[in-house]
Amino acid sequence: MEKNRILVLNLGSTSTKIALYQDADEIFSSTLHHEPEELQRFEDVWEQYDLRRDSILLFLKKKQVGFDGIQAIASRGGTFKPVEGGIYKITREMVEDTKTGLYGGHHATNVGCAIALDLGNEYGVPVFTVDPPSIDEFCPEARFSGHPLITRKSSFHGLNQKAAARAAAALLGKPYENTNLIVVHLGGGISVAAHRRGRIVEANNTLEGEGAFTPERTGALPVGDVIKLCFDGGYTKKEIVQMVNGRGGLWAYLGTTSGLEVEKRIAQKDDYAQGVYEAMAYQISKEIGACAAVLEGCLDSIVLTGSLAYSQILVNDIARRVSFLAPLRLLPGENEMKALAEGVSRYLQGVETLKEYRVKNGGLLNK
């Protein structure tokens, strides 16, 4: 069978990841880092479009990679309308939906989708995404927030969550569709999700203030105190949003988002740093316990993935609290680039079909 060359793009808050795959086999990968000072001149993430696009094209030129030898472009998904997990063609409608901000915060992945679509149109290459952050397979109970004016939204690390779940199921010798798992993505954002027989029926909204605090996000906050900050604290809406998503969590407490830096401080007997790190593990463990209740205690495994799964201190503290629920499995690292390539390869080889980005059943998508 003829091999397919797939260009993979994954834009993060301060980085642009680029990789070239031959089906699921990596040819090369690289991370282009953007200094905070370079990005601070932009008021909005969409203003970074030209910077990000130019950096991608310059890198490919240096690598002597032309689009004539590429069969597909894959981009990490943005904050689309709710969709089932699967493989999708990126469309103009999708990109326009991300610009509204109605389905989640403004994230660099949205810009990545726009760049991928424009490059695909310019060079005649099909463009796809796999398991975007807006995966919505919630059970009906999960949608209730506590007030009818607010419906809980599904927004989390769907790509790495699904990839880690499939890998864990394979190690268990079972199809993903026949397993019950709790997957914990530990990175700049932290998501804890309940996977019931191939569907993610519950997860914390990682962008808008749910779940544990993270290296850069506050997670859930006492609502009354947030109201006081909004109305009596003298903060603007933009400042509050930045406080919750970008300047919360470890950054707010310790002035760093680096787990390595926190561990270094702990090794130097910094009791405050140790207390903050333990508190983050404590909150993550509470989220795992909540997902165990969602799955009614029927668990095959608890899977820890993401860059912070390399942190032995954090992992040991979580394990101490939750290992009685189910066996823990470590799948450290963020395997999003490979997961994108694998998904697109499955479609190009005819193993998996495309999902359609459409509205049905009274506004819910793909239900």
pLDDT given at position 361: 41
Orientation of helix 259-267 relative to helix 271-294, angle to 10°: 130
pLDDT score of 257 more than 60: yes
pLDDT score of 363 more than 50: no
pLDDT score of 195 more than 50: yes
pLDDT score of 17 more than 80: yes
pLDDT score of 53 more than 90: yes
Q: Report how far residue 103's alpha carbon sits from residue 91's, in angstroms, rounded to the nearest whole number.
A: 16
Using pLDDT thresholds of 50, 70 and 90, give the confidence band for residue 22.
Answer: very high
pLDDT given at position 105: 62
Q: Average of pLDDT values for 16-25?
A: 95
Of the listed ranges 89-93, 154-158, 363-367, the one predicted with least confidence: 363-367
pLDDT score of 349 more than 70: yes
pLDDT given at position 133: 83
| 301 DSSP β-pair partners | 181
pLDDT given at position 362: 38
Q: Average of pLDDT values for 170-195?
A: 96
Q: What is the CATH number of domain 140-334?
A: 3.30.420.40
Name the more confident of 257 and 155. 257
Q: Average of pLDDT values for 52-80?
A: 95
Using pLDDT thresholds of 50, 70 and 90, give the confidence band for residue 134.
Answer: confident
Q: Taking the CB of residue 205, how many other CB atoms lie within 10 A of it?
A: 19
pLDDT score of 98 more than 50: yes
Q: Average of pLDDT values for 56-81?
A: 94
pLDDT score of 320 more than 60: yes
Q: Average of pLDDT values for 4-14?
A: 92
Name the more confident of 108 and 128. 128
Helices assigned H by DSSP within the chain: 36-39, 49-62, 92-100, 108-123, 158-172, 223-232, 237-244, 249-254, 259-267, 271-294, 312-322, 336-348
Using pLDDT thresholds of 50, 70 and 90, give the confidence band for residue 216.
Answer: very high
Average pLDDT for the chain: 92
In the block, tokens 């080889």 appear at 349
Using pLDDT thresholds of 50, 70 and 90, give the confidence band for residue 227.
Answer: very high
Query: Which segments of the chain belong to CATH 3.30.420.40?
Result: 5-134+337-348, 140-334
Q: Taking the CB of residue 196, how many other CB atoms lie within 10 A of it?
A: 19
Per-residue H/E/C for 22-69: ECCEEEEEEEEECCHHHHCCCCCHHHHHHHHHHHHHHHHHHCCCCHHH
The tokens for 315 are 């992992």
In the block, tokens 């939204």 appear at 153
Q: Average of pLDDT values for 223-227?
A: 95
Name the more confident of 336 and 276. 276
Of the listed ranges 2-16, 283-297, 306-320, the one predicted with least confidence: 2-16
pLDDT score of 208 more than 80: yes
Using pLDDT thresholds of 50, 70 and 90, give the confidence band for residue 37.
Answer: confident
Q: Average of pLDDT values for 242-255?
A: 93
pLDDT tens column, 297-310: 999 999 999 999 99
Q: Average of pLDDT values for 291-296?
A: 98
Q: What is the CATH number of domain 5-134+337-348?
A: 3.30.420.40
Q: Report how far residue 202's alpha carbon sits from residue 194's, in angstroms, rounded to the nearest whole number.
A: 5
Using pLDDT thresholds of 50, 70 and 90, give the confidence band for residue 104.
Answer: low
Q: Taking the CB of residue 35, how many other CB atoms lie within 10 A of it?
A: 8
What counts of helices (H) and strands (E) characterise the chain? Answer: 12, 13
